[in-house]
Amino acid sequence: MTSPLRVALLLSALLLAACSSNKEEDTYVEAPVETLYNQATDAMLAGEYSQAVRLFDEVDRQHPYSVWATKAQLMSAYSHYLQDQFDDTIIAADRFIQLHPGNRDVAYAYYLKAISFYAQIADIERDQALTDLSMKSLEEVYRRFPESPYARDARVKYDLTRDHLAGKEMEVARFYMRSGHYGAALSRFRVVVEKFQTTSHVPEALLRLTECYLAIGIKNEAQTAAAVLGHNFPGSRWYEEAYSLLTGAKLEPRADEGSWMSRAFNSVF
């Protein structure tokens, strides 16, 4: 009859053997750099992104001073991006930028970092810290590398990000306006007009300025807001509504050249 002690020893031996087997499977055998890099690329193309990351990192570990290692660092970052592992992508891209600031592919590292922030932009109701980081990173791409193949897309995404931030300001301003806090609402609408003049939210911001100024009895600024709106966006429904508000108060759009709105738009349009 088998003793309990012998059974326990046998089970322990089997567990140790299994652990040893798993450890051997997880250990990469040293291989030629081209072989490792090609295996990593094949894994990435097959959608096996975690395996691709491990293999690209192994290229860097086994052959740290080769040209392939430099390429593998960037491809590892890209493989993280393909898995929506944006924090890991940013870390890997930053490492590449620090190690290879003069590399011909450094523009792509900046771009990869920027679009990782961009991919995480939250709804306008939430905190916009990542939106701000996205905008700064995208601007860095097209300013540093204007001739790169990534500059155009970075600029498009930058404009969309600015529109997103303007949308956040509008959301907060509308809340203040609905609550009757016209002073706070005016401050937010003014931010949109002054800082985000090329976004899609400006026509509505000018209408809301017209409303707020009328609500607190500052008629000349309400008339200026409507006049600026009519001059720059004459066919918009926002201007029609602003004009209707003024005429309902027996007023007409009339620009005041001394107003901050007139000065702000003269510098753009």
What are the pLDDT digits (tens) for 66-81?
999 999 999 999 999 9
CA distances from 177 to 180, 181, 183, 203, 205 (A): 5, 6, 9, 17, 12
With cut-offs at 50, 70 and 90, classify the pLDDT of residue 94. Answer: very high
pLDDT in the model for residue 23? 44
Q: At what angle do helices 33-45 and 49-62 cross, to 10 degrees?
A: 160
pLDDT in the model for residue 29? 66
Check residues 97 and 15 and name the one with the higher pLDDT.
Answer: 97
What average pLDDT does this structure show over 147-159? Answer: 96
Predicted TM-score (pTM) of this structure: 0.75
DSSP conformation letters of 69-93: HHHHHHHHHHHHHHTT-HHHHHHHH
With cut-offs at 50, 70 and 90, classify the pLDDT of residue 31. Answer: confident
